[in-house]
A and B are shown apart, each in its own frame.
Chain A
């Protein structure tokens, strides 16, 4: 198995449960050391195994804890939901979950920057606003707040009328 942060072989494997979801962690010794998950000098193994396991668990818990709390402010997807389903909720997630996605992109693609085709025109500046409005609309419809839903639809309309 490959380390989650670099192409080396993973040698530290940790299981933990966050928000009722079980998750596994795989790091190479070097990355584990860098994150303070392993002491710089390999300790004698006698009887210390469980102590070491506890140390790793507490540190990894902190690391994942921070990311696992993240929620995309635009579409409302939780980082841990993404890790469970493997699919993002909206284009803004790439920004909201950057800290978690960058190591993953490096692992999957060996790169973190796009090279190649670009659209001739840039994405419209109000796209993010419109994404937010759509999220609010979803909530309003779910709450059966039709007045609010109608207001949001009016706000969304102008660009659709341009088309």
Chain B
């Protein structure tokens, strides 16, 4: 698999299946791991990074893992941005220097970053709410890598990481939630405050410090030391259904109290996406979010969730440029984005039925 293959497909985590997938876009776990006999990345020189990459690559080479290694160091900025938009690498890995890369599984549910903040960042994502499944898969993957790599581990402090905020389990357990009704009814801040109190972090779609767009939020654990992986998963699994319930209640309230206004907003959003001739990325996210809500409430019946999920990713700048096969300025991208949206949405069943 290479980047050209990726632009024709989309990740399995976008397929919109699995429990509660109308609200839970995906469940994701990442593990931070380091090799015992190398310095952490910020003290590693170019040669050491190359050695780390080579040792890790030989461990990832096992054919049973079905991983393809993408050399991020050899890529241009658009390709790196493409992988960020795809959720396969972080912005940090994209903008870092020196030997580094990512190993990607066949359905994009596995992504192992090499030489990011830690030597390895192992990530596994599934569609819908399925943290236990994700844990079982990533735990097995970690076991397999550990059989050929010597991890930095202390019996007292657990897996040793470059930043002490990740030490211990090195785990981040997260879910990506679509919460348009809580945003619309202005209850979202209340939910966030409650989550902060129980040591859960809230982030935008693209991780730390990014603004939430398209009403997507990632909820994840902050603490990694002193609580086991299963306990952290249980904590999140206990809380997420409550947030889902809040969102459902807010959606019901919107339907009961403001049905006309809501229906109007959803239809206008869909109309603009289907007919616009130039559109920014921000507006697209905003409108797609309304359309996604509309589908889930039965207000739109000729479009499917996986298509909308995919459009959130495929209408972003680097994706558009990869799909068009050319570098585009902002204005050109806005035109290309509108054209792409018209093409994708005119194939809806509303034309054929």
A contacts, CB < 8 Å to B: 75-77, 85-91, 94, 101, 104-105, 108-124, 126-127, 130-131, 134-135, 138, 141, 159, 163
- Which secondary structure dominates chain A's binding surface? loop
Give the complex CA separation of A138 and B45 in angstroms.
Answer: 8
Q: A90-B43, A120-B143, A123-B151 are in contact. Are A111 and B226 (CB under 8 A)?
A: yes
Query: Are B150 and A127 within 8 A (Cβ)?
Result: yes
Give the complex CA separation of A86 and B164 in angstroms.
Answer: 8
Give the complex CA separation of A134 and B48 in angstroms.
Answer: 8
From the candidates A77, A85, A123, A141, name the one contacting B153 in the complex (CB within 8 A).
A123
Query: Are B225 and A119 within 8 A (Cβ)?
Result: no
- List of B residues within 8 angstroms of A126 by Cβ: 37
Query: Are B40 and A109 within 8 A (Cβ)?
Result: no
What's the tally of chain B residues with a CB closer than 8 Å to chain A?
51
Query: Are B224 and A87 within 8 A (Cβ)?
Result: no
Query: Are A94 and B154 within 8 A (Cβ)?
Result: yes
Give the complex CA separation of A135 and B199 in angstroms.
Answer: 37
Give the complex CA separation of A77 and B199 in angstroms.
Answer: 31
A–B pairs, 9, beta carbons within 8 Å: A105-B167, A108-B165, A108-B225, A111-B168, A112-B157, A116-B158, A122-B153, A123-B150, A124-B36
Q: A89-B42, A91-B34 are in contact. Are A115 and B150 (CB under 8 A)?
A: no
Give the complex CA separation of A76 and B43 in angstroms.
Answer: 9
Query: Are A114 and B39 within 8 A (Cβ)?
Result: no
Give the complex CA separation of A135 and B164 in angstroms.
Answer: 21
- List of A residues within 8 angstroms of B150 by Cβ: 123-124, 127
Query: Are B156 and A114 within 8 A (Cβ)?
Result: yes
- List of B residues within 8 angstroms of A112 by Cβ: 157, 225-226
Query: Are B169 and A116 within 8 A (Cβ)?
Result: yes
Q: How far is the CB of A113 from chain B (nearest CB, A)?
A: 6
| Residue of B40, B47, B58, B223 contacting most chain A CB atoms (<10 Å) | B40
Query: Are B167 and A127 within 8 A (Cβ)?
Result: no
- Which secondary structure dominates chain B's binding surface? loop
Query: Are A127 and B225 within 8 A (Cβ)?
Result: no
Give the complex CA separation of A163 and B159 in angstroms.
Answer: 22
Query: Are B34 and A101 within 8 A (Cβ)?
Result: no
From the candidates B117, B154, B164, name the one contacting A114 in the complex (CB within 8 A).
B154
Give the complex CA separation of A104 and B171 in angstroms.
Answer: 18
Q: How far is the CB of A7 from chain B (nearest CB, A)?
A: 12
Query: Are B40 and A105 within 8 A (Cβ)?
Result: no
Give the complex CA separation of A104 and B146 in angstroms.
Answer: 29
Q: A91-B160, A94-B160, A109-B225 are in contact. Are A116 and B168 (CB under 8 A)?
A: yes
Q: A117-B139, A123-B36, A134-B39 are in contact. Are A88 and B225 (CB under 8 A)?
A: no
From the candidates B41, B142, B152, B164, name the one contacting A123 in the complex (CB within 8 A).
B152
Mask of B115-126 contacts with A, CB within 8 angstroms, 1/0: 001000000000
Query: Are B55 and A163 within 8 A (Cβ)?
Result: yes
| Nearest B-chain residue to A123, judged by Cβ | B36
- List of A residues within 8 angstroms of B142 by Cβ: 117
- List of A residues within 8 angstroms of B225 by Cβ: 105, 108-109, 111-114
Known: A89-B39, A111-B227, A120-B146. 13 other contacts (CB 8 A): A75-B43, A89-B40, A90-B43, A108-B165, A108-B223, A112-B157, A114-B156, A114-B169, A115-B168, A120-B147, A123-B36, A141-B47, A159-B37
Q: A113-B156, A115-B228, A120-B146 are in contact. Are A131 and B162 (CB under 8 A)?
A: no
| Nearest A-chain residue to B161, judged by Cβ | A88
Query: Are B163 and A94 within 8 A (Cβ)?
Result: no
Query: Are A86 and B163 within 8 A (Cβ)?
Result: yes
Query: Are A113 and B226 within 8 A (Cβ)?
Result: yes
Flag whether B312 is at the interface (Cβ < 8 A).
Answer: no
Q: How far is the CB of B122 from chain A (nearest CB, A)?
A: 12
Q: How far is the CB of A37 from chain B (nearest CB, A)?
A: 24
- List of A residues within 8 angstroms of B153 by Cβ: 118-119, 122-123
Flag whether B246 is at the interface (Cβ < 8 A).
Answer: no
Give the complex CA separation of A159 and B149 in angstroms.
Answer: 12
Query: Are A131 and B39 within 8 A (Cβ)?
Result: yes
Query: Are A114 and B40 within 8 A (Cβ)?
Result: no
Flag whether B155 is at the interface (Cβ < 8 A).
Answer: yes
Give the complex CA separation of A90 and B48 in angstroms.
Answer: 13
